[in-house]
Amino acid sequence: EDQVTQSPEALRLQEGESSSLNCSYTVSGLRGLFWYRQDPGKGPEFLFTLYSAGEEKEKERLKATLTKKESFLHITAPKPEDSATYLCAVQTYGGSQGNLIFGKGTKLSVKP
Amino acid sequence: DAGVIQSPRHEVTEMGQEVTLRCKPISGHDYLFWYRQTMMRGLELLIYFNNNVPIDDSGMPEDRFSAKMPNASFSTLKIQPSEPRDSAVYFCASTQRSGSFGSEQFFGPGTRLTVL
């Protein structure tokens, strides 16, 4: 069964304290790995798509990387406005076209 | 574009009542997805449509749940009869083109359903 596991469940950082979120996956065949950000009371908002091991993508203070078993979302010098829940999702060759399998997310809190 | 629109934003109902959630996807998007989010299970796909046709409804939990997409700009998710365990936030999302490889899904603000 395809699975996505995110860790930690929650992470508290001080402003400027860099860290990483982990997304490990077990899938039959990976088509793409997605990162989304979700603010309280809102729907998830797309951040990145990664397709193959070794790929990296950056956006402001965020950098996503991908290996054959996991993805990391690195947050450099975070600010309070980076506080949100970060969701990882995978799309597989075995699944229905368009189907995303989500992890439960990591809730990030950045204190000033 | 206004983005994906969902209504109502909040719904409180009593067990046994019928609940209808509504979604208007982004114009031009040919894929529409219904998700349910709970603390215990996270975000789960219920059903998705391509060009108004249901493609995969394997995530629909029971026969009490049904979804329709009568045209490209409107979809409904109906629960009849509702039960307390249906309490969750329901999201609608849409995407364009094949909806597959690498395409971004745009989510609506969600409907928070509480069944008493």
- Distance from C-alpha of B96 to C-alpha of B25, rounded to nearest angstrom: 10
- Distance from C-alpha of A91 to C-alpha of A47, rounded to nearest angstrom: 15
- Distance from C-alpha of B101 to C-alpha of A31, rounded to nearest angstrom: 7
- Residue B105 in this model has a pLDDT that exceeds 80: yes
- Which one of B36, B58, B100 makes the best mutation probe of the A interface by having the most chain A beta carbons within 10 Å? B100
Averages of pLDDT over each 10 residues, chain A, 112 residues? 93 97 92 95 94 94 96 97 96 72 96 96
Residue B50's beta-bridge partner residues? B31, B53
Q: What is the pLDDT of residue A28?
A: 83
Q: What is the pLDDT of residue A98?
A: 61
Average pLDDT over residues B2-17: 96
pLDDT in tens, B52-104: 999 989 899 889 999 999 999 999 999 999 999 999 999 999 988 654 555 78
Our CA-based measurement puts residue B58 at a distance from the nearest CA of chain A, in whole angstroms, of: 10
Our CA-based measurement puts residue B6 at a distance from the nearest CA of chain A, in whole angstroms, of: 11
- Distance from C-alpha of A33 to C-alpha of A101, rounded to nearest angstrom: 10
In chain B, the percentage of residues whose pLDDT exceeds 70 is 94
Q: What is the pLDDT of residue B62?
A: 86
Q: What is the pLDDT of residue A2?
A: 84
Q: What is the pLDDT of residue B16?
A: 97
- Distance from C-alpha of B3 to C-alpha of B13, rounded to nearest angstrom: 27
User: Using the beta-carbon criterion (under 8 Å), do A42 and B33 form an inter-chain contact?
Assistant: no
Cβ-nearest to A100 among B55, B105, B106 = B105
Chain A residue whose CA is closest to B32: A98
Residue numbers in A near B4 (CB within 8 A):
43
**Does A45 touch chain B if contact means CB atoms closer than 8 Å?**
yes
Chain A residue whose CA is closest to B9: A41
User: Using the beta-carbon criterion (under 8 Å), do A105 and B100 form an inter-chain contact?
Assistant: no
pLDDT in tens, B22-41: 999 999 999 999 999 999 99
Q: Are B56 and B48 in contact (CB under 8 A)?
A: yes
Q: Are B6 and B110 in contact (CB under 8 A)?
A: yes
CATH tag, A3-111: 2.60.40.10
Our CA-based measurement puts residue A102 at a distance from the nearest CA of chain B, in whole angstroms, of: 6
| Inter-chain Cβ pairs, chain A and chain B, closer than 8 A | 63
- Distance from C-alpha of B100 to C-alpha of A78, rounded to nearest angstrom: 32
Cβ-nearest to B43 among A32, A87, A99 = A87
Q: What is the pLDDT of residue B19?
A: 98
